[in-house]
Amino acid sequence: MDASAEVDHLAAERSAARFDVEAMKVAWAGSRHAVEVGDRMARLVASDPVFRKDNRTMLSRKDLFKDTLRKAAHAWKRIVELRLTEEEAGMLRLYVDQPGYVDLHWGMFVPAIKGQGTEEQQKKWLPMAYKFQIIGCYAQTELGHGSNVQGLETTATFDPKTDEFVIHSPTLTSSKWWPGGLGKASTHAVVYARLITEGKDYGIHGFIVQLRSLEDHSPLPDITLGDIGGKFGSGAYNSMDNGVLRFDHVRIPRDQMLMRLSQVTREGKYVHSDVPKQLLYGTMVFVRQTIVADASKALSRAVCIAVRYSAIRKQFGSQDGGPETKVLDYKTQQSRLFPLLASAYAFRFVGDWLKWLYMDVTQKLEAKDYSTLQEAHACTAGLKAVTTSATADAIEECRKLCGGHGYLNSSGLPELFAVYVPACTYEGDNIVLLLQVARILMKTLSQLTSGKQPVGTMAYMGNVQYLMQCKCAVNTAEDWLNPVAIQEAFEARALRMAVNCAQNIGQAANQEEGFYERSPDLLEAAVAHIQLVIVTKFISKVQQDIPGPGVKEQLQNLCNVYALYILHKHLGDFLATGCITPKQGALANEQLGKLYAQVRPNAVALVDAFNYTDHYLGSVLGRYDGNVYPALYEEAWKDPLNETVVPEGYHEYLRPLLKQQLKLSRL
């Protein structure tokens, strides 16, 4: 709660909660330590006037970018002054809440060097990156190619006479396009290009390339770069300098090729190192688990705003002059909002599991154990796709749940949507990623005949004979509260959809043609598998020993809401595959309504458990104290349009028009 709050208009809602909110904060954050660090960093940011953001949507692009540079520099200054740990620094940057070059520097540039650079290269480049003596970005995507990395056109041709690579952009479509931080801030980039030596193309490799002078920040010779222009929304991702970059035969030393996995010798020979290429998957898993974690943060912010405002807003329902009904008490509002609340928790917990998966995969890769690599790839790709798409849709739904006021920039929701929605396309287009998941599902099924048993989240596919013929044992609405019944229904649905796709592909002239023709069905099968993963991990979380009065019960309710909402939303899948009967589908919907009634008195406290300050939420509708209407009124007067009573342009345009109309009316 912010210290400035005087009257808590949501006090009655909070007192109705049937669980320990402080314990739920720990369950959400993962530990008491994480709660304390987050709380400390959030308040540090909120109390610093440099990190003000309430005027962000009113700034011009130039002013917004300069503001981003100022905040990034000030954040680094505070990190150094306070000697913050890596964990604390990460939390501080999170709560600054303004996309900028530092996101790509820490999130992509540094991990790329760690994952693909040799020990010698890491010793050279990482200390400079850690101290911000250089600023890096990740230059992979081009104007003509994004998801199809193998189609990139930038070339890196080795010249044995000078022991250099020549980096070149041979076509307009080979221009690097979109890398964050590239447009104006970065001094260096990891550039991905086609390695050519001895006349042979060896495919895509990474190279560290200096782009700008470390003295005056001007572009180096034969390098053209700039910003690609304004993007969707006010404020939002326009604080990021997404860039364009072209090379005209730019020379770099040979040792600036990232050489952990492969090298080019002084003589120009291409040589594979002893390090297995599978290690690259570790970096990919790391980046995608971060994206899933970000999905839960963005979704929980939107849900927090919508729940609090719905508990304040009243419309209709007045009897004999009595009070109107809170919008949150309407069943239609609950049926749209509470599944999103449950989804926020579901994505949080599956994101926590992905962090474990990243550490597990890393350890196994170092031990040259690749047994879980395929499954890890399917999980990270699929979860990135499903959580980002669901979150983008949910933020927009929360805006609509807040009625007309949700359309105001001061609600925080338009900017939150605009800043989040690119997650659906960056780091892999969601449709492309789901088709990758589908390929792995098809491969896993084909290997069953040879006796190879699937592992991890795909282990259920080994139970194919039972799941293809099992009947759902649900007879009453309450039976849907049994996690065994839920999990079996989701497993049967996912497996039967995958088997159906495999059978249809098998009837095609060849496998690739069948995959192409059945790609819409394969997408749905991939989504079904990933939704099973999310439900399974939520169930696992609930089955753990969770301290705090009422906390486990509330998480169980949210887990059931999420599962039964997905079942209701995709009822056609469950019915078409024969996993459940129409009667059982109706019972699931009946139980869902009962669960909403149980969530209702706890809703405000459940979003309080996210522990977000008013500064981080950035919403007059989502204020902790619920004092919405005075805040809305006050915020309106801050708009630059209200700086003058008579608008600029009145004498040039309005007055002549009005005088002309007045003259005509006298005729």
User: For position 416, what pLDDT does the model report?
Assistant: 97
Report the distance separating Cα 359 and Cα 433, nearest Å. 22
The three-state DSSP-derived secondary structure of 22-48 is HHHHHHHHCCHHHHHHHHHHHHHHHCC
Q: Enter the pTM of the model.
A: 0.94
Residues taking part in catalysis: 427
Task: Summarize the confidence of residues 341-358 as an average pLDDT.
Answer: 95
User: For position 660, what pLDDT does the model report?
Assistant: 79
User: For position 109, what pLDDT does the model report?
Assistant: 96
Task: Summarize the confidence of residues 554-581 as an average pLDDT.
Answer: 97
Task: Summarize the confidence of residues 650-661 as an average pLDDT.
Answer: 87
Q: How confident is the model at residue 280 (pLDDT cuts 50, 70, 90)?
A: confident
Question: How many Cβ atoms are within 10 Å of 220's Cβ, its own excluded?
Answer: 13
- Which residue, chain included where needed, has tokens 């560290």? 208
Phi-psi category of residue 52: left, alpha or beta, with phi > 0 → left and psi -120 to 50 → alpha: beta
User: For position 375, what pLDDT does the model report?
Assistant: 82
Per DSSP, the residues of 540-602 read HHHTS---STTHHHHHHHHHHHHHHHHHHHTHHHHHHTTSS-HHHHHHHHHHHHHHHHHHGGG
> Is there a binding annotation on residue 180?
yes
- Identify the H or E element spanning 66: helix 61-81
Report the distance separating Cα 595 and Cα 507, nearest Å. 44
State the chain's mean pLDDT as an integer: 94
Helices (H) and strands (E) in the chain, counts: 24, 11
Q: What is the CATH number of domain 107-275?
A: 2.40.110.10
User: For position 89, what pLDDT does the model report?
Assistant: 96
Task: Summarize the confidence of residues 507-515 as an average pLDDT.
Answer: 90
Q: How confident is the model at residue 661 (pLDDT cuts 50, 70, 90)?
A: low
Report domain extents, the chain: 107-275, 280-452+474-609
User: Do 107-275 and 280-452+474-609 have matching folds?
Assistant: no
pLDDT in tens, 472-485: 999 999 999 999 99
The residue type found at 102 is V
Q: How confident is the model at residue 320 (pLDDT cuts 50, 70, 90)?
A: confident
Residues 413, 497 contacting (CB under 8 angstroms): no
pLDDT in tens, 407-421: 999 999 999 999 999
Chain centroid, CA 474 distance in Å: 35
Determine whether domain 280-452+474-609 maps to CATH 3.10.129.10. no
> Is there a binding annotation on residue 268?
no
